[in-house]
Structure 1
C-alpha cells in the first residue's frame, strides 16, 4: 500500500532529482530493489504532497493517487453527488462548458464555482483581521503549505489565517445557507487537497478530490468526445473576482478591490515558499516588519499550474482568459463612490453571512527531525572517506542534497546509502577497503602526480615515507585477523592525524604504508616519521 505520492519502482533510475527538489529531507528513502538496483521511495509520513518530485522526474517514476476512480464508482451506484469546481478548471479544460455537460450526463447533481468560496475567504480574512486585531497572516488556500507548517513549523500555526480555504468555505456556505444534502466532490488542480478534505479541522464536508490530470486520463480511457455534449454553466450565485485566486497574487487582487493599502507579499514555487516561511518566522521572532498578508502558493504559476494539472498551458494564455473574466466581473460587481468602493458580493456577505462560521483551527502534527552533531557524523564521514574539512564540505549536487552534511545525516538515519556520493564511488577505485587511506593504485597515481610536479619545478622538495607494522604476522596468528584489521585501522588513523591535507597516504599492501610529502625536506620528513 503506497501513500499519496509514490514511486513506480521499475521506472526509477535513482537519479536523485526527487531529493534535490524536495523541501523535506526525510521524505525520500534510498533502497536497493530485488534486482540490487538503487531506487528512491517516498516516505509518506514525511511527504507534504508538494508534487515537486513528480514534476522533476524525467522518467515518469513518480505518481499520485486521488479519488477519481472512487467518485465514478459511487456516481454509477446512483449516489447523489454535487461537484465544486476550482476556478483553475476554466483554463485547464479547453471545452470546459461541455465538460460540465458531460459530468451532468454522468449523474452529477449540482455544479458550483469555487470562485464564490474564494470571495467568501477574502471577505472572512478581512473580517477576522479586523475583529481579532491580526497584524500579519499567512493565507492558506494551499494545502501543502498547511501540511508543512503543521508537521515541520507548528510555531507558525498562530500566523496561518484562521479562515477555511475557498473550497471549504464554499462547502460550508452550501450546507449552512442552501441546506445542500448529498456528497460533495471537488474538481481540483491539487494533489494535496486530499489531505485537506480528510482533515478533522475542515469538517470533512467534501468526500472526493478529483484532479484535472486524472480526469483527463479518465476521459481518454472512456473515449469521451466532449463536442457531443451540451454546454452547461454553474448552479448558484455569480461570484465576484474570486477566480483570480488560482494565479500568483490572486488573493491580493481580491483584497485590493476594497483595501488598497495593505502590505501583501506574494510568493510561489516550492523553491521559494518553504525557505520564505523560515525567513518569515525568523523576522517575527526578531520583531522585524512582516507583511500584513502573505499570499503564498506552493506551485510555480499558482493553482492554474497545480500539481494535479498537466502544467502545459502558457502563462500568457492563462492570464489573458483570467483578465477578460475579471474585467467583466468588476464591471458587474464594483462601483466607485465618493465615500469608497462598493463591492456587491461583499455587501451580500455582510448582510447574510457570519464570518465565524468560516473559521478554521490547526493541529500541530510536529515531526521531530533527528539532527546529529558533526561528532555524531564522524563514523559516516569515515565510511565516505571524507576525513578532511575540505572533503566534508565539497557540497556537490550529485546526491541530490547539495550538502555533504545533509547526505551524512540521511545515511545516519538509514534513509540513504554511501554510494549516493559520487566522490565515494570515484574514490572507491583508488581507496583501501579497510582503511580511509589510498590503496596501491591510488598511491601509484598520487606518486606519479607528485613526481611530475617535482620534475616540472612545481615542488621544491619531495619526500616519500615507507612504513610497516612490526610483528604484524604474529598479531594475526595470535589474536586473529579481526584484531589485525583493527591494528591496521589504528595505524592508518595515526598517519592521517600527523600529515597535512596536501600530503597523501595509503596502504601499499599488507601491513606496508606509504606517505607522500610534497614540499617537505629530509628534516621535515624525519620529524613526521
Structure 2
C-alpha cells in the first residue's frame, strides 16, 4: 500500500479475512476506505471514527484496536485507578446484572467507579446557555466525537457553529481529578469507540489514560473469571442528578436541561444517523438560532460499535429508560459540579479539512470508458462498488482510492466476453438446446462438424442427427451423460458430453472430434496384425529349419523345441496384446528344459 496514505490508528483490517465485497465501503459515510489489490484499508486522515465499517463487515475482517492490556498495566501499577462508566451499560444488562455491575468492576481492581452521567447535567445546562447567548447563528452540539470529526474534515465551513463545550465524559474526568487528585489514573468505558482517539486531542491530553469499549470490558471479565451472578449488589461511588442518565439517548441534552422538545419545535432538532445529520447540517448553514443535537450512531449511544450485545435496539432503549426510572438521583440544583469551578470548554481543529481534488471531464470520461460506461445515460449507478454513482467511483480511481476492477457490471461483461470468446474459439463443438430440443446457439466448431448454419437456429436438433443422447439425459436423473458416436453422414466420430442447465431449462452438448484418434488406432491395429502374421510365418519357417538341425544335434533336440515354442509365444503376446509379457512367462531353463 502507498506509504503516503496512513492507515487508521484505531481501525485495522485483517487481510486474510477481507473478501473484496466492498460492504465496508458501501457503509462508510465519507468513503475513507482505500481499495488496493482487492483489500480494504481505512485511512486515518479521512476517517471520522464512526466505526460503521466494523458493524457492517460480514467477514469480521475489520476491527478496532484493543486497549485491555493498557488497563491491566494501570491496575498493576499501584496507582489508584478510577473508572468512568457510560450509562449505556444499563441497556445491555438485565436488572439483576446492573445491581451487581459496580461490584464486578471493583473485583477487576478499580478503586473508584462512577457513572459518566454525573457530568451530564452541567454540560446540558451550559450548552443551552451558550445557544441562548449566541442567537446570531445556529449551533451544533459537540457531545459526539464522530460528529465533530465529520464537521472538522468535511464541513469546515460549520466549525464556527460547533458549541465549544466538552463532552460529559471529558468533564467527568476533570471532575474526578479535581475531587480525587491529579495522581489518579482515569479509565473510561462505553459503547463509543471514537473516544479512543478523541482523548488524544491536545486539549484533552492527560485527562483520560485509556478508553475501552464494553466489548473489551466483557473480555476482561471473562479473562479474570468474574461472573456477575457471583458478585454482591452494590452502588456506584457517585450519584447523578435529575435525568442525567438519559445521556446516551438522542435529544438527551435538552431533556436533561429541562427543555421539552416536541414535534412542533422549530428551533431544535435531535437526530441520529448520517443522512439525517447531513441534512440537519445543511439547515444549520442557512439558519440562525437553531440547535442541532446530533449523535452519529443510529438511535444514539446505545447502538455504538463498542457494544458486544446484539439485542434489539428498542429493547436496549427500554432497558435504559427502566434503569433511569428505577434509580434514585439527586435534585438538579444539588449538582456539585455547578459550584466546583470545573473547566467545561474545548477547542476544535481548523486544519483537518479534506481537500476536494478537481479533475477534468476528459480524465473522468477516460476512466469511465475503461469500464465501458462513458455515456451518462448508460451508466448503471448500481452502488455495487460502494460508490453511489459511476462518476464518483471514477473520481475515486483518479484519487487512487479505488480500482477499475471494482465495477461489478464491467467485470461481469468481461467474464461473459471471455466465456463467449472461449466457446467460439474452442476446437470442440458447442450447442445449446431448448427444453424442446431446438437449437438456441452453436459455435463455429459445431457448425463445421455438422455443416450447419444460423438458418438452423430454433430448428430441432434432429435436423442434423439423431438426438438420442439428449433424450436419455432429459429422461434420466443424471446431470451428465456421455457417449461416443460415429456420424456416418458427416464422416466423423465424436465423443459427446451432454449436461443440463436446470434453471434455464436448457441442454448443452459438447462434441469432441475423435475421428483422427479412432482412425490412427485402427491403422495401428492393422499394422500389429500384419506384423504378427509375418512374424509367425518367419518363425514357422525357422522352426522347421531348427527342427531339422535339432535332429542332427541329438541330445539337444528337446531343448531346442522348448526355445522355439517360447519364441512363438513371446511374439504372439507382444503383437496381439501390445504389452510386454511378464518375466515369469518368458524365462526358461536351457539346461533342464524347464
TM-score (norm 1): 0.72
Q: Distance in 1 between matches of 2:328 and 2:104?
A: 30
Q: Of 3, 12, 19, which residue of structure 1 is paired with 2:25?
A: 19
Say how many residue pairs are matched. Answer: 423
Q: What's the counterpart of residue 317 of structure 2?
A: 319
Contact 1:244 / 1:326 at 8 angstroms: preserved in 2? yes
Shift of 1:222: 3.6
**Relative contact order, CA 8 A, sep 6+: which one is greater?**
1
RMSD: 3.4
The match for 1:408 among 387, 391, 394 is: 394
In the other structure, the counterpart of 1:52 is 52
**Deviation string for 1:231-273 (max 9, x for gaps)?**
3321134322111110122223213358987832011123432
- Which moves more between the two structures, 152-161 or 364-373? 364-373
- Compared CA separation, residues 388 and 119, structure 1 to 2 (3 A): same
**What residue in structure 2 maps to residue 30 of structure 1?**
35
User: Are 1:164 and 2:170 counterparts?
Assistant: no
- 1:53 is displaced (CA, Å) by 1.0
How far apart are residue 331 of structure 1 and its match? 8.4
Change (3 A) 1:10 1:256: same
Aligned to 1:511: none
SS at match of 1:266: strand
SS in 2 for 1:72: helix
In 2, distance between residues paired with 1:179 and 1:196? 23
- Superposed, 1:370-385 pairs within 5 Å as 370-385=357-372
Instruction: Kindly indicate whether residue 393 of structure 2 is the aligned counterpart of residue 387 of structure 1.
Output: no
Q: Distance in 1 between matches of 2:203 and 2:162?
A: 13
Query: Is there any run of 5+ residues in structure 2 with no aligned partner, and where?
Result: 1-6, 425-440, 442-453, 458-594
Matched, 1:267 2:271: yes
Question: 1:262/1:233 Cα in 2 relative to 1: closer, same or farther (>3 Å)?
Answer: farther
Q: Deviations over 1:202-228 (max 9, x none)?
A: 343111111001211232344332222
- What's the offset of the Cα at 1:152? 1.8
Alignment check: 8 A CA contact 2:240 2:329 kept = no
Q: Distance in 1 between matches of 2:360 and 2:133?
A: 46
CA contact (8 A) 1:83 1:186 kept: yes
C-alpha separation in 2, matches of 1:92 and 1:247: 14
Which secondary structure state, in structure 1, belongs to the residue aligned with residue 16 of structure 2? helix
Cα displacement (A) at 1:164: 0.3
Distance in 1 between residues matched to 2:119 and 2:384, nearest whole Å? 44
Rounded Cα–Cα distance in structure 1 between residues aligned with 2:164 and 2:136: 10
| Distance (Å, rounded) in 1 between the aligned partners of 2:214 and 2:273 | 19
SS of residue matched to 1:300:
coil
Task: Write the mapping of 1:185-264 to structure 2, written as runs, cut at 5 A.
Answer: 185-257=187-259, 263-264=267-268
Q: Mean alpha-carbon deviation: is it higher for 98-107 or for 140-149?
A: 98-107
Structure 1 contact 305–311 (Cα < 8 Å) conserved: no
1:92 is displaced (CA, Å) by 2.1
The Cα of 1:80 is off from its aligned counterpart by 2.0
Q: 1:464 aligns to what?
A: none
- The residue correspondences of 1:398-477 to structure 2 (distance < 5 A) are 398-429=384-415
Report 1:2-401 matches (<5 A).
Answer: 3-25=9-31, 27-32=32-37, 38-94=38-94, 95-133=97-135, 135-176=137-178, 179=181, 181-257=183-259, 263-273=267-277, 275-276=278-279, 278-281=281-284, 284=285, 287=286, 289=287, 292-327=290-325, 333=331, 343-345=332-334, 350=338, 352-354=339-341, 357-364=343-350, 365-391=352-378, 393-401=379-387
Residues 248 and 267 of structure 1 are in contact (CA less than 8 Å); yes or no, is this contact kept in structure 2?
yes
TM-score after normalising by structure 2: 0.64
Q: State the Cα distance separating 1:329 from its structure 2 match.
A: 6.9
Separation in 2 of the partners of 1:74 and 1:359? Answer: 28
Instruction: Verify the 8 A CA contact 1:247 1:304 in the aligned structure 2.
Output: yes
Q: Distance in 1 between matches of 2:422 and 2:103?
A: 74
In structure 1, C-alpha distance between the alignment counterparts of 2:416 and 2:266, rounded to whole Å: 62
Q: Secondary structure at the match of 2:376?
A: coil
Asked if 1 retains the 8 angstrom alpha-carbon contact of 2:67 and 2:211, the reply is: yes
The question of whether the paired residues in 1 share the 8 Å contact of 2:88 and 2:302 is answered with yes
Distance 1:113 1:440 in 2: 67
Task: Call closer, same or farther: CA 1:380–1:439 in 2, change over 3 Å.
Answer: farther
1:248·1:302 contact (CA, 8 Å) conserved in 2? yes
Larger Rg: 2
1-structure distance, mates of 2:282, 2:200? 29
Contact in 1 for aligned 2:136/2:289 (Cα 8 Å): no
Distance 1:7 1:402, change over 3 A: same
> How far has the Cα of 1:296 moved from its partner?
0.7
Distance in 2 between residues matched to 1:107 and 1:430, nearest whole Å: 62
- Give the gaps of 5 or more residues in structure 1: 33-37, 334-342, 433-437, 443-447, 456-529
